[in-house]
Every structure is written in C-alpha cells, then in structure tokens.
A and B are shown apart, each in its own frame.
Chain A
Amino acid sequence: MELAEAIERSRVNDVFLRKGPRTPQPGSLALTGHHLIFSPAVDAATAARSPNAHVDELWLLHSAVDRVASEAISRDNPSKGGLLTLKCKNFMMCVFEISKLDDCEAVARSIETLSNLNDVRLEYPFFYRCSFTVLDDGWTAFDAEQEFARLQVRSDAWRLSFVNKDFRVCPSYPEAVIVPKGIGDDYLRSSASFREDGRFPVLSYYHRDTRSSILRCSQPLVGPNGRRSKEDEAILNSLLGAAAKGYIIDTRSLNAANSARSRGGGSEPKQNYSRWSYVHRPVPRWKELHDALSKLVEACNDSSASSDRWLSKLGGCGWLQAVADTLTCACVVAQCVDREGSDDSRETEVPVIVHGAEGTDSTLLVTSLSTLLLDADARTVRGFEGLIEREWIAAGHPFWLRCAHGAYATGAITGPFEAPTFLLFLDCVWQVYQQFPCSFEFTEEFLIFLFEHAYASEFGSFLGNCEKEKAEYGIKKSTVSLWSFVNNPDVLQKFFNALYEPNESPLWPCVAPQSIMLWERLFLRWQRDWTHADGAQATVMQWKSREKELQSKVLVMRRQLVELSKEAQLYQQTQLINSLQVSDH
C-alpha cells in the first residue's frame, strides 16, 4: 500500500484549533504520509514581523493518534462543519473545527488508516532522516557480548551461548543469551522444548554483592499429564551449586497457575524441583492492564467530576493497585537476592527464577524492576537504557503489539493485543524515583520521553516485537536507534537530575497504599498548569548547580590563597633581610 493513497485531502483550510497543546486559534491542516500538520493562520502583519512563523506549526505523528472521531458541530445543520477529535497515545486531546463536514470526515478517515498501519516497514522511522550526527550508535551500544564481558569480570559461572543463532530455538529471544556455564547447548534446546515459546531460563541479573542471580523464562509445559524435562531440571539445579535452595517466583496466582496447567502449561512441580521454594506473587496480567489504564485516563480527563467520583475511580480502576502489586513482587525478588544472602553470615548465593506464563510481560516487569532496585548502574541514564534494551527490547517484549494503541482504543486491525505493560514499568520506576529522588541520574522527564517514544517515534528502537523481527525488517539497518538520539550530550542534558548522588545500596521502596501515588506529570499532564511545579523544580536544580560551581571555585581560590601566602611570606622575609641589610650599613 502506498501511504499517499490514504490521503484524501492533503490540505484543509479554515480550521480552528479548539483544544490542544496550543491556545485556541485559527489555521490550516495539512496531511502527509506520517504527519498531521496544523499551521496557525498568519496575518500579514505578524508574518512581516516574524518570518519564522512556521516554527509554531504543530506536527503530530499519525502513529501517535490513538482514536479519531469526526462529528458534525450541529446535528441539525451539517453546513456548520465538523469537529475532528484526535485522542493521542500520550493522552493528549486535540479538537479541530473544520468548516466543511466532508473535509472533516475525509481527514478523519485518512488518519484512521494511517495510524493503523499493519506493515512495520511503512512506519515513520523508516522514512526519518537523521538530523544529527550519531556519536554513539544506539544499535551497538548495548550488545550482548559487551554485556557478557562486563559480567565475566564479576563472575565466571556464566557463558554466552549462541544456541539461538538465526532464532531457531526461541523466536522471541536474541541470538546471544547468557546461561549457566556448565550447561551445554543441547540441554538448552531440550529445555526450550519444555518451556512455552521456547523461552528457556537465561540470566537476567547477577548481583555482585551476594553472588545471587535472577533468571527468567516462561512457564514449563507440564500440562495435565505432568510432563517433565530432566534437562530443564538439570539447568535449574546447576544454578544452586552451594546454595541450599533457590526461589521460583511465579507472577501468577496459584489458581491461575493451576488453570494454566490444564491448558498445557503450569508450574514446576515440587517433586521434580525439590530444592526450590515456589512463591506465587500475582502481578496483573497484561489483558487487565489495558482496561485499568482506560478507566484511569477517563477519570483524569473528567474535569467536572465530584471528589467522590474521582476518588472512587482512582482507587477502583485498578491501575494503582497494579503498580503496588508489581512493585511488591519486584521487592520480593530483590529481597530474595539481597537480604537472604547478607542477613546470613554464610553469604550463600540464592538463585531466583522469575516466570509467569509467556514470560514476555509480567516476567520482564518484575525482573527489570528488581534489577533497578538492586543495581545502582541501572539508575543512571546509560544503565537504564541498557536495562530497557536488554530486559525489554532484546528480551522480546512485543512492543509492536502492546503499544499499537493506548488508553483510548483497542486495535481493530492490529488485534486486541494492546497492553500498557511498558507504561506500568515506567510508572513503577517513577514510584521508586519519587521516593528516592536523589538516587536516579535522570528525572521523570526521561521516563515520560520514553513512554511517548514507545508508542510513537521517529526512532526504530521500539519497532517490532523481538530481535527476530528487527532482523527480518532490517530495522537496525534502516532506522535510527532512540539511544543514538538520547546519548547526544545536548539531549542528555535535558534529562539529567541535578540532585543525583550515586547511591550504591539497593533501594527499598515503600509499597503501602499511601506511598503509591498517581503519576500526575503523566496522567494529568494536559489537564494541569505545570509552570509552578516546574519553576520550583528548576529553582532547586539551579541552587544545586550553583553549589557545585561554588565548591570548585572555592577550592581553586583556597589553593591560590595558600600559594599567595607563601609568596607573601617570602616577600616579607626578603623585605626584612633588606631592611636588616640597610640597617647594617
């Protein structure tokens, strides 16, 4: 399909922006294959004054639009024109008044089609021309071999396996994965055949302090007949080594795990995995999340709601509960890794295995969050990028399916696979951030930036569902990585947190209901005037940088002062000698 075919009107005049990120104003709309462009009407006088008026244009990616609606302004009188409502994936709403109703409908149809492309290769990142010099290519910045090299310095219990070369063993894994050293590729293959979608256990995080590790996989295909895999058991047992026991954290409830068993899945049975403690820590399934988010966003947008209605929706929509559950589970995993070892004087390592069903949603949520809690590096900008690249993108979280739509719609063409799992992850990170605002190298702005780019972007990082698709579509060759952009010093500057003080110790966030807050910057971003909060924050950041500046200046001056006094002393001595000499004569 040619994108141009979908465009019925490339330009519509006489448009009024009624609601959106700008003040209400007249202008015109233009449609391109990937963007909707609103240009404010410029009267001659203004044009003369500021010839760069086009910078005021509003560019909106079609893929950022979640839901399009077109309706007549007045039902009785279609000649009054139409209202074009665009609800975006970042929760922004734009309403345009268009003077002709058919123009309005035509534009709506075009956007509907263009925002629901089902061919990755038509997406904007393939057409985006990089406007900056790439200093640090994001596609190669976080590859598995470097990752492994770093790990090897800390522990030699692991090896890099290429068993998944050409994605033959597990389509949703990358080609190189880190596995226990003593395990051969044949064992991995057998284990893959015993786990859903071939997701055999791989290393997710190695905790240096306690030598404990977090591994992730998908559910074992135990099934109603109680299948078992000796090889899979061997892999898990090899992890135990000296450890007395390990933990398997299931992100499903006991019931869910049992009913999965009747459908061919299940959980590792005690008799076959005798040295493992099995813990159920239910985290909401991805299917429930979409609903929760929709309800929350609807409540946030309802500016005329009564307090009771707002509070009942806020508590009842399930989103904050999902955040609390996810964080709790991540804390449990982190605690297994950190506390188990250190409280005990024996300092034994404790392997923790995390899985849910498919191992591509809640599993990744939990492993990535636990890593964030445990690993100070993951709380730097670069470490966080690495975490997302490793634990989300390479680990096979189906971004393309999950982010096809946001809070306002479910995909008709792409199928109902939408779920804000990644947003939930970012929200959980934000919760930790707001409890430890000095332990993160980045600010919440970075999280919001990532949220927007996961849903609609000019960069290819979140395209496709896994590494395999990335390879098939040549995404890494034809598009620019998001990290190439972020790691530009100018861009990076925006995301730095001036209050950051590196914090080596693990973070233990509070998960009491009062501590789980609504991420207002994100959910009420378009409803509230943020200038005052921003101003206050900027003031603090300003103080902080002034402090740093003064510190270094003072140190320099002190050194100077010491040198000067030495000189002065010398000078005075010579003066003294001179005067003595004079009196001698």
Chain B
Amino acid sequence: MAYSTFPAYTEDITVAGALLADRIGRLFESVAGKAPLKRIDLESLPNLTIKVEKVQLIDRFTNRSLVGTLYVTTTHVIFIADDHSKEIWVLHGLIGSVERGSMTAAGCPLTITCKNFLILSLKIARDRDCQDLLETLQMCSRPVNVEEVFAFSYVRPGAEKDLSAGTSSEWTAIDLDAEFRRQGVDNKWKMVDFNGEYQYCDTYPRRLMVPSAASTQTLIGSCQFRSRARLPVLTYWHRANSAAICRCAQPLTGFSARCVEDEQLMDHIAKANAHCGVLHLVDTRPRVNAMVNKVQGKGFEDERNYTNMRFHFFDIDNIHVMRGSLQKLVDACHRMRTVTEFWKGVESSGWLRHVREVLKCAGFLSDSVARGISCVVHCSDGWDRTAQTISVAQLLLDPYFRTIDGFRTLVEKDWLAFGHKFLDRCGHAGGASEEASKEFSPVFTQFLDVVWQVMCQYPRAFEFHERFLIEVHDHSHSGQFGTFLGNCDKDRMDLRLTTRTECLWAHLDRKRDDYLNPTYQPGKFSVLVPDTRAQAIHFWRSMYNRFDDGIIPRESIDQVAIVTLEHVGVLEAHHTALQARIAELKAAMGRRASLADSGHSSGGGGVISSAVGDNNQTATLGKSSSCWDAESGVYDTTNSNSLLMLDEPELSAVAVRWRSLRGVVDCQACAAHFGATDRRLHCYRCGSIFCRRCLETNADARLCKNCADEIRPTSPLVTSTVVVP
C-alpha cells in the first residue's frame, strides 16, 4: 500500500513542484502574501515559467506605483519590488480572476483578483508580456483536474519521509460516532450503516444517525423521495432537552407527490424527542424559490401530510445571488472613495442583508432547540444554506463548537462529511468553463462571516480569534492542503487525500496559540442569543480589506491583549520560581521563610491571580509553573553550590519588560514584514519581537536564536563537594 499511494504520476513538473514547495515551505509557512525572504535567487528556482521585469504595482488608494519583477512559478505568482520593500506571494489556488485592459502609454494594466480579497493592480510595460501573463495565470489558477492542485505536490517541511512512506501521520479522521457520543445522543437514535458503500447517497457520510424506530425500509423510502437521496438524518442533539437538529434535501413533492416512508421518518424524528411532539420544519429558501422548485418536481413538504409539523420559510437566497453579492461588496470596499458612496455600495451589494438572514434563521433554530423543539432543516440540495444555518445554530447552542477543536469538528461534520461542494464552490478545479464558474460561490465565506458576527456580539464566548476564521477561509481556497479538496466524503476517499496531501488542521494546530482569543472565558456561556437587528450586522473589515495596510488599525487591542496574556503567564511562572528560589536560599541558610517579606507581599497578588486565573489560558500560553518548580527542584537535590551562582539563570530567563508592539513592522531577526493582523511574538528572554520562524518554541518557552545560543552552555552541570547544612 505504501508504494501504490505515492507517485501515481511522477511527471517532471510534479517533482519540480515538490522541490519548490519544499524550499518555499522553509521560507514561508503559509500561503498568502507573507514576505520573509530578502535575497533569494528566484531565477535559480527550477520551475520558473515566466519572469517579467519592470512591472508596476499600483496602490489603489494613493495611486503610487512600485516597480518590481513578477515571477510565475508552477505554484506561485511572486512580485518582488526592486528595492525589496515589498514581496507578495500568491498561490495559484488563490487566484480568482485575471483581467487585462488595453495598452496605454504607461503600460498594459493587469488585475489579479484573489480569493483572499487581495487585489493586485499591475501595469506591464509590453503588451506581449501582459498577454502571456494573462494566459499563463488563467491556466494555472484553474486546473482542469483536481489532481493538479498544489496540495498533491506540497510537502510539509520535514515531512518528506512520511510522504514517501505513504503515510501522513498528521491526518486524523473525524469520527462521527465519537462526536455523537460527545453530544450524548440517547437511545432514541441509532447509527446505521445502510449507506456503507455510499450506495444510496453518495454525498453523505457512510454512517448516519437516524431515529431508532426507523426501519431500513423507511430510510430507503425516504432517500427516494429526497433530492439526491439526502434523507433527514441527525446532526446535532441537544443534551439539555434532547431536542435535535436534522438535515436533509428538499422533497420531490412536485405539486402533489407524497411519500409514506418520509412522513414516517419525520414522525419518528418528532417522537425521538419525548418532551415535545412538535417538529419545526425549516426551509431556508424564500417561499418563491421553493414554489419554483415545485415545477421541477421538487419543492417542499405539505404541512397537511405530516403530523405535528410546523413549516417555516426563511429568506436566504441561492448561491448565484451570494456570488454576485460578494462581488459587489468587494467592489464597494475597493473602489468607493467617500463614506456615502461606500455605504451605498455595501447596501446595494446586499451582503449584510444575506448575512443577517442566515443569522436570523440560525437564531430561530437555536431558539427552537433551546426551547426543546426539534428542527429539520433543508434548502434545495441541503448542502449550502442548510450547512450554513445548522452549523451556526450549533455554534450558538453548544459551547464546544466555539472552541478550536469543536469548530474543526463542526466544519468536518456539517460541511465536509455532509457534502458541501468545496471543490466547486471554491473553484479548486474544473477549468475555466462556464459551468464551473456557475458552481463557484462564497457560501463558506459567508458562514465564516456569520460566525464572526456572533463573535463580535459575544467576544468572550469563543476560544478562537478572527485570525483563525481568516486562516481557515484562505486555506479552504488555497488548495495547499487536502482537507477541503473534493466535493464530498466519497470524493476524498477516492482521491486518497490522507496519504497524498497534508492536513490543514494539523498545520493550524502547530500555530494554535496564534489563533487564541485573549478574552475567552470558558464555561461562562451556554446558549448564545444573537442580536439580529440590522444595526448589529457589521462589515468585516479585517476580512475584506485586510491587505490594505492603512485600513486595519495600527494599534490593536487584541494584539496587545494576547501579548499581555502571554507575558502574564510567563511572569507568573517566573514569579513562582523566584519565590521558590528565595525560600530555598533562606531555608539553606537556616532562616525561616516566614521572615521573608516578599512571601507576604505576594499573598495579595494571589487573590487577583486567581480571579483572573479562571481564564485557564495562562498555563497554555505561558511557561507552566510546574516545570519551573521541577527545575528548581533539580537545583535543590543535585547540587547546592549553584546557590552561590550570582548569574542565576532565573534572573535573566525572562524579560520583565517586553518590547512594545508600537511601530514594530517587521521581525527583528529576518526583517520579514508583519501583515496588519499577523501575530507578533516575543522572545521570552530578551523581550524582542520576532516572527514565528525566528523563534525556537518548545513546551515552556519561546526563544530567539541569540537567546537560545546564550542559554545552552550554562546548563547547570556544576558539581560540588560543599554541602550546606
């Protein structure tokens, strides 16, 4: 198996791609325009396809231009300013569209619009170059076949061995069984395998949770009555009152058709909730859309045919409307010059209205469930609007989904497992055909936007920060990781992604502390009630305008907060260590610790520390105090002579003052430029600010290279014969 999985296609270009990927992987960790390297010799890269010099990069706001060179490799588009003041790296997967204008005296305009909302306005001196670029980029950005996506050639630095062995240890499959156990689903529900080979529904996972009372016959009957056989199955069970959220696709009712099995299944779902016989059936589409579907033999359930069912429509528009809407929003936030024009643009895009509709529907679902009423949700195929609304509803209901791991579970379950068509919606493959462009839609982006709206309203209820959402968003489009490839579970199985690509979650996990929300208070919030008034829906500036440096505030409370949190953790540990050390010295000298004044002065601090400390992140962010105790314990037992060392490592182990974030625009070691929302990391010892690559991070410290070198030789190895009584 190990051999069969690897190079099924060892064409030269792949090898070259892997080589480059490896190099790039070392140079920069992520996809989007980070620019860590200064003097890399790009021309020596093995797979450079085009190089164009004297390209002007135009700043939309100031109209100033920056001259540089544009490189196109098999994986990236890279712009490097001649004065090295700016470098932009864009993965092909992130390129949304490329357009050129007609030749002018100043050059030929070329605009690259990226899926992460970066827009590069370029002017190319020669018409011919411009045309070449246009054609190449259009080809690169839309591979026809999914196996041409970067993920299949990307090798995580240090993972070459894993991959050649055919195993990537980092993939951990989401286990739906475990998730339902976590939810505490009771015996009114059962896991069934009738779809074990995807034979009934190829866009659902193999194992499905259905009412225990439903027979396989009923399930198969219901399959046949539902669009794409997506029958109603359980996705969330509310422990507090055993109300459930089920999802499905629209029924094939046409004008009058009905299906006894389907009606039975609905009845079973309603009855699985012992406390309440009523079932809310939510169609997220506007009524008109649902009516139109009737003509095509689909449609919605007739309330009269189902017992105890209440039917609700919501006004969430379809994927085509959303595509146009986001397009207009992005136009508005990139073109409009005055406040009045900008808001007019935002209004006419309708994006905030759509976001609000999704939130309203999710709010309705969570409210119903919180009141003990089970809900069945569908839209047309049940993989776009349904995924959005039920996942937001779950986020509102269950605090677990507001943690990093929980959010992953949510995305894996309701988006990946239940067949949100990421491949089509994010345009990973499919070439530049018209069909492909019709399938493209920012449904997942919109979901993240809604999550962000809730985060704004409940800033303490989420373990993650908006940076996490943005990162997930970018990688859902980038094609660097296998996680979001394919349209459904079955696709991903067929592509053997777990053995041929890297897993996004593992990648994010390595930078987990980047994504923590400093104000998170675990356990404080249970069910969230969103404010769905128009005034409560905001424009997500740090998403759609994040590459416009000036627009993102230069001082951010969040940045300061996370740094403070980390520093407090470090200082807290240091404080404990010092205390222990002082006590130790005193004991060694035969004094009573009770004489110590410091021991008392910290008593008052302890109260505050425990008050603040219910936010348990101190331990995860800072050095855990236990390791310090251990360290001082070592001193105590092995040698007492170290007591005499005046250059105590403790004294310099931690910088009391950390460098202020103000005015720090790049890493102090490699001079890589920080993006407006990138996290700035401090070296614990010297307190200077670095990028992640320039810090050595281990379980209890982050050290810059200098500090790490300084510390190494002074490890306590001294032996002594003198024993202090």
Question: Does B associate with A?
Answer: yes
Provide the bound-state CA to CA distance between A320 and B585, in Å: 63
Whether the Cβ atoms of B585 and A557 lie closer than 8 Å is: no
Q: CB-CB contacts of A270-307 with B at 8 A, as 1s and 0s?
A: 00000000000000000000000000000010011111
Q: In the complex the two chains form, is A561's CB within 8 Å of B578's CB?
A: yes
Known interface pairs A437-B557, A542-B612, A549-B605; A562-B651 also in contact (CB < 8 Å): yes
> Is A308 a contact of B648 with CB atoms below 8 Å?
no
How many angstroms between the C-alpha atoms of A543 and B564 in the bound complex? 6
Contacts of B339 in A (CB 8 A): 315, 320-321, 323-324, 513, 516
The digit string for B596-614, where 1 denotes a CB below 8 A from any CB of A, is 0010011001001101100
Please determine whether A539 and B548 come into contact, CB atoms closer than 8 angstroms: no
Contact A514 B554 (CB under 8 A): no
Contact of B650 with A by CB under 8 A: yes
List residues 506-543 of chain A with CB under 8 A from any CB of chain B: 510, 512-516, 524, 527-529, 532-533, 535-537, 539-540, 542-543
Asked if residues A321 and B564 are in contact (CB atoms below 8 Å), the reply is: no
Q: A307-B537, A499-B560 are in contact. Are A547 and B601 (CB under 8 A)?
A: no
Could you tell me how many residues of chain B have their Cβ less than 8 Å away from some Cβ of chain A?
84
Q: Give, as a whole number of angstroms, the nearest-CB distance from A222 to chain B.
A: 31
Give the contacting residue for A561; candidates B346, B531, B539, B581; CB below 8 A. Answer: B581
Question: Judging by beta carbons under 8 Å apart, are B346 and A315 in contact?
Answer: yes
Q: A-facing mask of B556-592, CB < 8 A → 1, else 0?
A: 1100110011011001101100110110011011000
B343 within 8 A of A: yes
B567 to chain A: which residues have CB within 8 Å? 547
Residue of chain B at shortest CB distance from A308: B347
Measured CB to CB, the closest approach of chain B to A191, in angstroms, equals: 37
Is A312 in contact with B656, judged by CB distance below 8 angstroms? Answer: no
Write out the residue numbers on chain B whose beta carbons fall within 8 Å of the beta carbon of A127. none
What is the total number of residues of chain A having a CB less than 8 Å from a CB of chain B? 72
Q: For B353, give the chain A residue with the smallest CB separation.
A: A307
Interface-lining segment among A62-70, A376-384, A570-578:
A570-578
Tell me which of A501, A532, A551, A560 contacts B459 (CB under 8 A): A532
Q: Is the CB of A300 within 8 A of B656?
A: no
Q: Are A557 and B553 in contact (CB under 8 A)?
A: no
A53 CA / B553 CA spacing, docked (Å): 46
Is A561 within 8 A of B650, CB to CB?
yes
Q: Is A556 among interface residues, defined by CB-CB distance under 8 A?
A: yes
With A536-B459, A551-B571 as given contacts, are A565 and B585 in contact (CB-CB < 8 Å)?
yes
Do A561 and B605 touch (CB < 8 A)?
no
B535 at the interface (CB under 8 A from A): yes
Decide yes or no whether B457 CB sits under 8 A from chain A: yes
Stretch from B100-108, B182-190, B330-338, B487-495 contacting the other chain: B330-338
Instruction: Give complex CA distance A506, B565 in Å.
Output: 28
Docked Cα-Cα span, A435 to B61, in Å, equals 18
Are A514's CB and B333's CB within 8 A?
A: yes
- A546 cross-chain contacts in B, Cβ below 8 A: 568, 608-609, 612
A564 touches B586 (CB 8 A): yes
Given contacts A316-B343, A510-B550, A561-B581, contact A576 B531 (CB under 8 A): no
B662 interface residue, CB < 8 Å from A? yes
- CB contacts (< 8 Å) of A550 on chain B: these are 568, 571-572, 575, 605
Instruction: Give the complex CA separation of A324 and B341 in angstroms.
Output: 12
Complex interface: stretch among B132-140, B639-647, B698-706: B639-647
Using Cβ atoms and an 8 Å threshold, which residues of chain A touch B645? 565
Q: How far apart are A374's CB and chain B's nearest CB, in angstroms?
A: 17
Q: Which residues from chain B contact A303 at a C-beta distance below 8 Å?
A: 533, 535
In the complex, whether A157 has a CB less than 8 A from a CB of chain B is no
In-complex Cβ contact of B646 among A560, A562, A575, A576 (8 A)? A562
Given A435-B553, A513-B341, verify A564-B582 contact (CB < 8 Å). Answer: yes
B320 at the interface (CB under 8 A from A): no
Q: Which residue of A lies closest to B347 (CB)?
A: A311
Q: Do the beta carbons of A315 and B340 come within 8 Å of each other?
A: yes
A439 at the interface (CB under 8 A from B): yes
CA gap between A413 and B582 in the complex, in Å = 74
- Say whether, besides A512-B548, A535-B460, A575-B724, A439 and B555 are in contact (CB < 8 Å): yes
A537 to B521, CA, bound (A): 12
With A512-B550, A512-B551, A550-B575 as known contacts, state yes or no: A543 contacts B612, CB within 8 Å: yes
Contact B340 A321 (CB under 8 A): yes
Least distance between B441 CB and chain A CB atoms (Å): 20
A314, A515, A540: the one contacting B518 at CB < 8 Å is A540
- The reply to whether the CB of B69 lies closer than 8 angstroms to some CB of chain A is no
Query: Most chain-A Cβ atoms within 10 A of its Cβ — which of B535, B541, B602, B612?
Result: B535
Residues of A within 8 A of B (CB): 300, 303-312, 314-316, 318, 320-321, 323-324, 434-439, 499, 501, 503, 510, 512-516, 524, 527-529, 532-533, 535-537, 539-540, 542-544, 546-547, 549-551, 553-558, 560-562, 564-569, 571-572, 575-576
Q: Which 8 A-B pairs have CB atoms at the shortest separation, nearest pair first?
A: A315-B343, A513-B342, A310-B534, A307-B353, A311-B347, A536-B459, A550-B571, A536-B519
Query: Which residues of chain B have a CB within 8 Å of any CB of chain A?
Result: 61, 333, 336-344, 346-347, 350, 352-353, 356, 457-461, 518-519, 521, 531, 533-537, 539, 541, 545, 548, 550-551, 553-557, 560-561, 564-565, 567-568, 571-572, 574-575, 578-579, 581-582, 585-586, 588-589, 598, 601-602, 605, 608-609, 611-612, 615, 643-646, 648, 650-651, 654, 656-657, 660, 662, 722, 724-725
Q: Name 5 A/B residue pairs within 8 A (Cβ), A-sorted.
A: A435-B554, A514-B333, A543-B565, A543-B612, A575-B725
